[in-house]
Structure 1
Amino acid sequence: MSSVQPTTQMTTAQPYDLNQQAVWYQQSGGAEAPSVGMADVLRILKQRRLMIVVLFFVFYTLVVGATFAIANWAPLWTSEAILELEPPRKNVLDIEPSGDVMPEQMRLALQTESRKLTQPVLLQKVLEQPEIKKTAFYNWYGGNIPKCMTDLRRLLGSTPIPDTYLIRVSLATRDPTETRDIVNAVVDQYLARYVTQAKDELYLRAESLKNTLAERQRKLNEKRDEMYRFREQTAVPGAEEREAMGGLVLGLQAQITQVEVQAAALQQLLESIRDVPVNELPITPEMRILIESDPILRYYRSQVEALDVSIMVNRERLGAKHRDMKTLMLSRQGWYQKEIMKREELITDIRERQIEATRQDLAQTRGVLVRLQDRLQEEQARQRAMSRNVQRYEQMKDDEGVLLKDLEQLQKRASEAEHAVQDKSRERRLSVVQRADRANKPSRPDYFVYLGGGFVVSLVAAVGLAFLREFTDKAIRTPIDVARHGQLSVLGNIPLIDDEEADIDSIELATRKAPHSLVAEAFRQVRTNLLFSGPAEAQRVILITSPGPGDGKTAVAINLAVTLAQSNQRVLLIDCNFRRPAIRDAFPNTRREGLSNILIGQGKLADYVTNSDLANIDVLSSGPMPPSPAELLGSTFMRELLAEARTRYDRVIIDGPPALLISDGIVMSTLVDGVIIVTRAVQNSKGAVKRTREQFERVGARIFGAVLNGVQARAGGYFRRQYREFYEYASDETIPAELPMPPGGNNDPQDAGDGGDRGGR
């Protein structure tokens, strides 16, 4: 056997796309449908252009009619006046002087005045004027002044003109004269009210300024009285006295430092002589003079010196060892000992007197230090009190100066306020630049806005409704709907037989009775796209099913089997729809017994297969209705039947039941090589196609793609242009006469090579 063998797998193969009718959608395991792109937008516009044109015509007709109706029966005439507000001057009446006027302040001032123009009190006074009461605008409300005032406030426009000092006051009514009169009445009434309010405001502010001036004078007098009492009760020293006080404090601090140094020196001296032994006490010249001037010590010394003279005289006369010499020596020794003892006694006495004197000096010095420190504290406290008094008095003087300066400014401003009350120019800060005139043409309708804007709105509304209709349409209408919402590859599109020019009684017989029709060509496209979607060995057994009954799955199964047989392949067509079998209607010679008999073990495939009147096609009917079709279809007998069919036939086409109604198709999908889902345009919903795909995916079935059946020829849709081109091409006189069928039964040149040795099957 020889067949077409594509070199790539289904997910990457490029299908044979005749007239671009096959739409392929690469499945991604439950991925979301692709978003709407520019191609989809153009497609929707093209398909629904008639709807868009009709809706646009209806909408724009309404717009044009409404525009001319307004122009004839409800026009509006607009009049406007322009007011100018001078920038606020430097206000001399405020307590605090103001600086230059900022842009934000001017903007707020303009907005404030524009809001005042629509005050209910002002509008009520306008409506009370006799001239206004005669207008049709006023009389239309029948004396209902609150309602009239509310509508006038709503209709009256009062807005600042950007980047200017101007305010626009406008009104639109059905009478141009009344519009002018009402606007001018509002402006005149507001100007009169503005002048009165300006006078009242100036007078009130001048009186407030006088009261403030009197209050400032009272505070100044109180401050001066307070300063006088303070000077009387508290000594406020002058600069010389404060300087003398500072010098005294500095002198006391210097004396304290000096006395502290003396006390430290005396303390150090006392500690140094207290621990020194008497014999080690240094003898100062003053101490030596004091010691030597002692009369007793001098007497002892004189005795020693007298004996020294006697010893020197008698030594030469008597000799050193004479008895008298010894007596003199002993006597001298005695007096000398007395002298030494007396000197030591005097040194001890002087040391004790020195220590005592040092102690007395130290105590006296410390006493002086304490007295100096006490006096320093007193003087410092006095100095601080003096500084506080001076500081307080200076603060009083500063307060007096501030009050005096403020009083002078207030006196100056009070004088200016008196002139401001009499100044007439302040009443003219708000002036009329342009009074309202009678309008020459109506402001409503504005033909450019109404007709131009209506054109755009009508077009947008028409396009929007077309897109709304497209996105809210739940029915499958185009292959793009199948690919987008069903996420299925579209193998082909079968046109609606009612649009076919050829005489076809039944679509099941299209490829046999009208092989040159567009419907037959569509089925051949399905066959071609299927063959090129994967290897032939992976497409031996194919289940044809649909979401519901009447979708055309039987027609697709029969015509697909016929086109495969015409390509010189042996095909077995099995009717697996036990509840509504339809294969026997297309092949009347088929036996009544069939699949159900085989599944219950009453025979083999060869016992019930019927050879059809077409070459290369055998048919197996469904047989009698079994009690449990799903169990039989999933049985071992069914597996053996399909295995035997694989050995005898190149292709096995199974016409299954609807997938959403009966579970038989789901059971069969697990036994076949793949499933083709037939959807019917308009009849099937997008959700039904999606649920069908999801059911097969849940059981792991392979889906070859979908066939869209019953596609209508419509503007922007499918087959209208193809109908015309196909029959123009088919009716060309240059086409040669039809050749006879070849011996193998293949009359399709493009598939002539898809045959081979099939003998013995």
Structure 2
Amino acid sequence: MSQITTVPGTPMPPMVQVPLSPGMRPSGPPMPQQAFTPQDIIRMLKKRIWLIVIVAILVFVGSGVGTYFWAKYYPTYRATALVEVKSPNPPAPMEKQGQLPNKDIMEQHINTQARMIKAMGILNKALEDPVVRGTSWYQSFGNDVPKALLDMDERLAATPIRDTWFINVGFAWRHDGESAQIVNAILDQYLRRVSDASQGRSRTDLALYQRRAQELLSEISLKKAALARDRASYNIPVIERRQADVGAKVASLNELLEERLTGQEQAQSLYDMYHRPGAQTSMADTPEMRQAVDFDPLVRTYTAQLADARLNLETAREYRPKHGLTLQLERQIQTIERQLNARKSELLAENFRQMSERTQVELDGITREVISLQNRMVEAKHELDDLEAHMAKYRADERDIQNLEEQLATVNDHIMRLRIQQEDPELVRVSISRAERPLERSSPSFKVNLPAGLMLGLMLGVGFAFLLEFLSSTVKTPADVVRQLHLPLLGQVPSQEDDEASPEDMNKLLIESPHSILAESFRQLRTNFLFAGPPEQQRTVLVTSCSPEEGKTCIAVNLATSLALAGQKVLLIDANFRRPSAAEAFGLSDGQQGLSDILVGRASASNLIRPTQHDNLDVLPAGPLPPNPAELLGNDHLKGLLQELKGRYQTIILDGPPLLVVSDALVLATAVDTAILTIRAGHTARGAILRAREQLRRVNARLSGIVLNDVRITRGGYFRQMYRTYYEYHAPEGLLEKDGEEQPEAEEVKSE
């Protein structure tokens, strides 16, 4: 453990501790490891900042050196040319501009031309150019045409320029003049291909339209001949006149038929009126029937006689109401009335019969007339349909001839335009800006390679840092204990090498350097231990570790000293028969009698317990090494001894052997109230700690928590900020000094 500059002063304020529960018994498999937090990443980057910087510098320098030699021995010059792709729809002859295509169609056309520039046929033709064959690029392949063709395709780039009608064509080679020559040779072949394709397309279109014109002329001639024959055979003028006459006849018949149909409906209605049940009774009171009855001579005679008889009866009643003449007149009136009613009934019946017969005759007559008109209408319509069919065919033939003549005119117009376009320079829908000798090399570029090398170096450095962090399986920080092991943390002790105020003998730390951060860490360990569980469950404590060289004896000695300085009566027992060292920490010889003699019954504890320079702290050495340490510690003598010593001491601390090396530690763990596991930061693996926890669980031993020892105060380390805060707080004027000399480490910490 290294030195840290210190200045004596007031005690350090309490350090932030991980919350503790009152003791624990580990049980079950460990919980899954949690992901890195942003704080862990920042800590890791700070911790390995020099690795990241060195890797970044090495890659940066390497990229600079590589770029220099690359530029010196194998530079690349890119010659570029521009190809303007015009609209695929050429303007019509005597027009300045053709129809602009859709944007998507134009983009497809430009991309098609870019692919055509790199077509194997064009590249093959370019390789046949004597200028290309004379270049060092072609000669480097030793006349291996397929290999040269593949290399040309790889080096050649034809890229459409966004939002323009241009294609950027470039070729990269280490000789600037040859790059331009090769690009121009390729574009010459491309332009020849486009020109030939345009001329060939124009000639093909012209031949196609001329053939179509001949077909239309032949078809028009045939149509006109057939039309002349039809006109002669059908006598079209006569048909036209007859069509007009028949049309007028159909209209007249239709009007007359409508009138007759209306009359038929009326006759049918009248017929139905006279032939329905009870029609005679209901028709008796009609004006026609009353008129027929009233104008009958006999009815008129009976009516006059009835009127005279009634007048005579009225006169006779005035003078002789019951005279025989009166009675005779009454009988006469009755007789006349019967005769009158009988005559009226006869007349009504006769008139009804006559009217009924007349409606029948009228209905039959008008029905026959309607049928006749309908037949004539059908005949006229048939004749009209035949005439119209002949005329429709004739008119259709005329329209067909007219359409064919219009098509012929359109085809002739296209033929004229194509003949004009064959002489038009705009027929080739591309134009080329030839490549010139490049003024500077295209690659390598220091402006690109150096920043890229720096970025790559930083990424590699960070990647190596993360890789080292992930590959490391050791516990380094208090956060690792809680997050990865899920165990209570009783305390953390900084590395002795980082605290210059610490003494050479760590066992005398609390006496010789009471104001150092190391001493303060042991006082915090004491406080956390006292609150880790009920006092009756922490009377006997085993301090152990996973493996040797983790500082468990130092932890046991300083914890015992801290408890003694706090006023407790403490006994420190050296229970490590393999490598006893606790007694030597207080200047006692380990060759004397000790714990082993007590357990075999050769001595009593009161005779072998040795006092120390601390009034409240006694030590029991380990004694001679027995041949069977595990069996000796496993008998009931040890438990009885501890029970006896509890009456004299408040706390008994046993410095035991490592858990994973010998079985003695597990035997001791079953005899004490609780155990403390010491872990050396950056040294003890997580797997070893978990195995130690599992072994304690199997023997049903209680584990109070973990002590993280030898925590380094490095950049990104856990105690970095705490170290600076602690000594700045203790320094009277913020200066970290010792013996009148300013310490460089303190300056560095303060400057951060």
* TM-score greater than 0.5 by the shorter chain: yes
Q: Is contact 2:570-2:652 (8 Å) kept?
A: yes
| 2:534 is equivalent to residue 527 of structure 1 | no
Distance 1:334 1:48, change over 3 A: closer
**Which SS does the other structure have where 2:682 is aligned?**
coil
- Which of 710, 718, 739 does residue 732 from structure 1 map onto? 739
Shift of 1:138: 0.9
Contact 2:171 2:183 in 1 (8 A): yes
Task: Note if contact 2:260-2:369 (Cα within 8 Å) is conserved in structure 1.
Answer: no
Q: CA deviation at 1:289?
A: 7.6
Q: Is the 8 A contact 2:599 2:638 kept in 1?
A: no
Cα offset, 1:417, TM superposition? 1.0
For 2:570, the equivalent position in structure 1 comes to: 571
Equivalent residue number for residue 201 of structure 1? 201
Identity %: 26
Superposed CA RMSD = 5.6
Q: Deviations over 1:368-426 (max 9, x none)?
A: 56666677777788888989998888877776665544433222112111111232342
- The residue aligned with 1:475 is 474
Which deviations, in whole Å up to 9, do the C-alpha atoms of 1:279-327 show, x marking residues without a partner? 989873663388548xxx99x989x99xx9xx9xxx9xxxxxxxxxx99
Are the equivalent residues in 2 in contact too, given 1:543–1:674 (CA < 8 A)? yes
CA distance in 2, matches of 1:19, 1:460: 40
Query: Aligned partners of 1:206, 1:494: CA distance in 2, in Å?
Result: 96
Partner of 1:87: 87
Larger deviation, residues 244-253 vs 374-383: 374-383
The residue type equivalent to 1:116 in the other structure is M
Does structure 2 conserve the Cα–Cα contact (< 8 Å) formed by 1:523 and 1:556?
A: no
Measured after TM superposition, the shift of residue 257 of structure 1 is 3.6
Deviates more, 1:142-151 or 1:225-234: 225-234
Find the counterpart in structure 2 of residue 611 from structure 1.
610
The residue matched to 2:475 in structure 1 has which SS?
coil
| 1:461 corresponding residue in structure 2 | 460
Measure the CA separation in 2 of the matches of 1:122 and 1:271.
104
Instruction: State whether residues 199 and 421 of structure 1, in contact with CA within 8 Å, keep that contact through their aligned partners in structure 2.
Output: yes
Report Cα offsets for 1:579-600 as digits up to 9, x if no partner: 87665665627754469949xx
1:302-313 paired onto structure 2 within 5 Å:
none
In the alignment, which residue of structure 2 is the partner of 1:422? 423
Match of 2:450 in 1: 451
Q: One-letter code of the match for 1:706?
A: I
| Partner of residue 650, structure 1 | 650
CA–CA distance in structure 2, aligned partners of residues 329 and 595 of structure 1: 179
Please give the residue correspondences for 1:237-636 in structure 2 after superposition, counting only pairs within 5 Å.
245=250, 248-249=253-254, 252-253=257-258, 255-271=260-276, 274=279, 276=281, 284=289, 287-288=292-293, 292=297, 345=346, 347-365=348-366, 403-427=404-428, 429-433=429-433, 435-487=434-486, 488-489=488-489, 491-495=491-495, 504=504, 510-512=506-508, 515-516=511-512, 522=518, 524-531=520-527, 535=531, 538=534, 540-541=538-539, 542-574=541-573, 583=582, 588=590, 591-593=593-595, 597=599, 610-615=609-614, 616-619=616-619, 625=628
Aligned to 1:177: 177
- Cα offsets for 1:192-250 (capped at 9, x unmatched): 22222221111112222333444555666677788789987897897896687467546
C-alpha separation between the residues in 1 aligned to 2:497 and 2:225? 119
Over 3 Å counting, the alpha-carbon distance change for 1:594 and 1:362 in structure 2 is farther
Contact kept, 8 Å, 2:712 with 2:719, in 1: the verdict is yes
Residue 101 (structure 2) aligns with: 101
CA distance in structure 1 between the aligned counterparts of 2:482 and 2:533, rounded to whole angstroms: 26
Q: Which moved more, 1:52-61 or 1:708-717?
A: 708-717
Q: Which residue of 2 aligns with 1:322?
A: none
From the superposition, tell whether residues 482 and 608 of structure 1 become closer, same or farther in structure 2 (CA, over 3 Å): farther
Q: Which runs of 5+ in 2 are unaligned?
A: 1-9, 25-29, 317-326, 742-752
Per-residue CA distance 1:97-123 (angstroms, 9 max, x = gap): 984323333332222222211111111
Distance (whole Å) between structure 2 residues aligned to residue 595 and residue 143 of structure 1:
98
Distance 1:475 1:268, change over 3 A: same
Deviation at residue 470 of structure 1 after TM alignment: 2.3
Q: Give the counterpart letter for 2:449 in structure 1.
A: Y
- The aligned residue for residue 758 of structure 1 is none
Aligned equivalents of 1:287, 1:622: Cα separation in 2: 164
Residues 178-201 of structure 1 deviation map (CA, whole Å, 9 limit, x = unaligned): 212211211222222222222111
Q: Which runs of 5+ in 1 are unaligned?
A: 1-15, 316-325, 735-761
How many pairs align?
Answer: 690
> Within 2, Cα distance between the matches of 1:103 and 1:491?
73
CA distance in 1, matches of 2:693, 2:63: 47
358-367 vs 67-76, which moves further: 358-367
Going from structure 1 to structure 2, the CA distance change for 1:621 and 1:239 (only over 3 Å counts) comes to farther
After superposition, the Cα gap between the structure-2 partners of 1:194 and 1:571, relative to the gap in structure 1 and judged at 3 Å, is same
Q: Does 1:186 align with 2:186?
A: yes
Q: CA deviation at 1:570?
A: 1.2
SS at structure 1 position matched to 2:422: helix
Contact 1:482 1:689 in 2 (8 A): no
Deviations 1:119-174 (A, max 9, x none): 11111111112222222111111121011011101101222233333222211112
Query: Partners of 1:573 and 1:432 in 2: how far apart?
Result: 97
Q: Using the alignment, how far apart are the partners of 1:346 and 1:357 within structure 2?
A: 16
- SS of 1:407's equivalent? helix
| 1:576-623 per-position Cα deviation (integer Å, ceiling 9, x unaligned) | 66887665665627754469949xxx8999669723434322445779
Asked if the contact 2:544/2:659 (under 8 Å) is kept, the reply is yes
Separation in 2 of the partners of 1:169 and 1:705? 72
Cα 1:381–1:250 shift into 2, 3 Å: farther
- Structure 2 CA distance for partners of 1:706 and 1:288, relative to 1, 3 Å: same
Match of 2:130 in 1: 130
Give, in whole Å, the separation in 2 of the partners of 1:74 and 1:404: 71
Change (3 A) 1:563 1:358: same
- One-letter identity of the residue aligned with 2:161: I
Secondary structure of the corresponding residue to residue 678 of structure 1: strand
Gap change, CA 1:369 and 1:720, over 3 Å in 2: closer
Name the amino acid aligned to 2:450: L
Could you say what secondary structure the match of 2:707 adopts? strand
Whole-angstrom distance in 2 between the partners of 1:226 and 1:672: 128
Over 3 Å counting, the alpha-carbon distance change for 1:275 and 1:144 in structure 2 is same
